[in-house]
C-alpha cells in the first residue's frame, strides 16, 4: 500500500510540477538525437562486409524494441547501402551529442523540480555536466548493444559446448539472461542520470527506487503504445508522410515522462535532500 500511495503522489507531482512540459522539451531533443545517431552507427558498421551480420542483429533488436511506425523508419537506415562522407558523419555525430545534451538538460530541470531544488550551476557547468551524463550513459547502453550484436554468436558457442540433452535449457537460460542484462543496463543508465543530474549528488540508495520503477514502466509502456498504434492510432491520416516521425515523438515523450516520474518517486521515497557524502557519513550521537 505504501508503494501505491507514493506512486500516486509522484504521478500527481508530475502534473503540478509542470513535468509534462519538461518531457515535451526532452522529446524534441530526443528525436533530434535519434536519427543522426542511427545514421552514424549504421555507417560505421557498414564500412566492412564482415560486420553485415552485426548490422542485421542490431536492426532486428531495434525493430523489436521500437513500437510499430518508428521501427519502420529506423530500419530504413539499416537497409540503406548508401555511402556517406566523413564530413556528413562528423556533422551527424556533433548533432547527436548536442541534442543528447539537450535531453539531459531538460531532464535535470525536471529532477530539480522533483526535489524543489534551485539551480546552483552556472550556464557552462550545467552543459558540461549534461555532456558528461551523455557519455556516462553510453557505458551501460554500449554494453547492452554489444550483447545484442554478439548475442547469437554467444548462444551458438554455448549450444556447441553443451551436451545435446541440455541444449534446450541452454537456450532458455540465454534468453533469460539477455532479458536480465537488458533490464540491468537500463536501471544502471537511469540511476547514473539520477545520481549526477542534480546539484547535490544523491546516493545510489536514493536513486535506485525510481530507476527500477522507470525501467519496469518503459517495457509495458512501449508494448502498450505499439499495440495502440497498430490497432487504433492512424497518424498517417492526419500527418501523412510524417506519421512515423510523429509516432516516434509521442513514444519518446512517454519515455521522458516515465524518467521524470521515476525522479518524483525518488523524491517521495527519500524526500530529504542529502548528498552522497552526507548519506555515507556515520551518525554521531550527541
Q: Which residues of 69-85 are buried (b: 16+ CB within 10 A; e: fewer)?
A: bbbebbbebbeeeeeee
Interval 1-41: pLDDT, tens = 688 889 999 999 999 999 999 999 999 999 888 888 888 87
Would you kindly state where each structural domain of the chain is located, as residue ranges?
Answer: 2-271
Q: Distance between CA atoms of 130 and 107, rounded to whole angstroms?
A: 10
pLDDT of residue 106: 95
Q: Distance between CA atoms of 185 and 262, rounded to whole angstroms?
A: 16
pLDDT of residue 234: 64
Comparison of pLDDT for 243 and 138, the residue scoring more: 138
High-pLDDT (> 90) share of the chain, % = 33
Comparison of pLDDT for 48 and 282, the residue scoring more: 48
> 115 vs 13, 112, 200, 262, 265, CA distance in Å?
11, 5, 10, 12, 10
Phi–psi pair at 3, nearest 5 degrees? -60, -45
Q: Are 99 and 26 in contact (CB under 8 A)?
A: no
Interval 108-141: pLDDT, tens = 999 999 998 888 889 999 999 999 999 988 887 7
Comparison of pLDDT for 23 and 242, the residue scoring more: 23
pLDDT of residue 179: 79
Q: Average pLDDT of the chain?
A: 80
Interval 160-215: pLDDT, tens = 777 666 677 877 887 788 778 888 888 999 999 999 999 888 888 999 999 999 99
Q: Which of 93-107, 122-136, 155-169, 269-283 has the lowest mean pLDDT?
A: 269-283
pLDDT of residue 238: 63
Phi–psi pair at 30, nearest 5 degrees? -65, -40
pLDDT of residue 221: 85
Residue 49 has pLDDT above 70, yes or no: no
pTM for this predicted structure: 0.83
High-pLDDT (> 70) share of the chain, % = 75
Q: Distance between CA atoms of 29 and 127, rounded to whole angstroms?
A: 14
Amino acid at each position: 500500500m505504501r508503494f501505491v500511495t507514493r506512486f500516486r503522489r509522484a504521478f500527481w507531482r508530475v502534473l503540478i510540477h509542470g513535468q509534462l512540459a519538461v518531457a515535451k522539451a526532452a522529446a524534441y531533443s530526443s528525436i533530434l538525437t535519434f536519427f543522426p545517431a542511427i545514421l552514424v552507427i549504421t555507417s560505421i558498421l557498414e564500412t566492412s562486409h564482415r560486420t553485415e551480420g552485426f548490422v542485421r542483429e542490431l536492426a532486428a533488436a531495434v525493430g523489436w524494441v521500437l513500437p510499430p511506425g518508428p521501427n519502420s523508419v529506423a530500419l530504413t537506415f539499416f537497409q540503406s547501402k548508401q555511402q556517406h562522407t566523413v564530413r556528413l558523419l562528423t556533422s551527424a555525430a556533433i548533432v547527436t551529442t548536442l541534442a543528447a545534451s539537450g535531453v539531459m538538460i531538460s531532464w535535470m530541470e525536471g529532477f530539480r523540480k522533483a526535489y524543489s531544488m534551485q539551480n546552483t550551476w552556472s550556464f557552462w557547468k550545467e552543459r558540461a555536466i549534461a555532456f558528461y551524463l551523455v557519455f556516462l550513459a553510453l557505458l551501460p547502453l554500449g554494453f547492452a548493444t554489444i550483447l545484442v550484436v554478439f548475442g547469437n554468436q554467444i548462444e551458438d558457442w554455448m549450444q556447441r559446448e553443451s551436451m545435446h540433452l541440455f541444449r534446450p535449457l541452454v537456450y532458455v537460460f540465454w534468453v533469460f539472461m539477455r532479458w536480465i542484462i537488458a533490464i540491468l543496463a537500463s536501471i544502471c543508465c537511469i540511476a547514473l542520470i539520477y545520481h549526477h543530474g542534480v546539484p547535490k549528488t544523491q546516493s545510489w540508495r536514493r536513486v535506485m527506487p525510481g530507476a527500477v520503477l522507470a525501467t519496469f514502466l518503459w517495457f509495458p509502456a512501449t508494448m502498450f503504445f505499439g499495440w495502440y498504434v497498430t490497432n487504433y492510432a492512424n497518424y498517417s491520416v492526419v500527418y501523412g508522410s510524417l506519421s512515423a516521425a510523429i509516432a516516434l515523438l509521442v513514444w519518446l515523450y512517454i519515455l521522458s515522462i516515465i524518467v521524470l516520474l521515476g525522479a518524483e518517486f525518488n523524491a517521495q521515497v527519500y524526500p530529504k535532500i542529502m548528498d552522497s557524502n552526507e548519506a555515507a557519513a556515520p551518525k554521531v550521537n550527541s
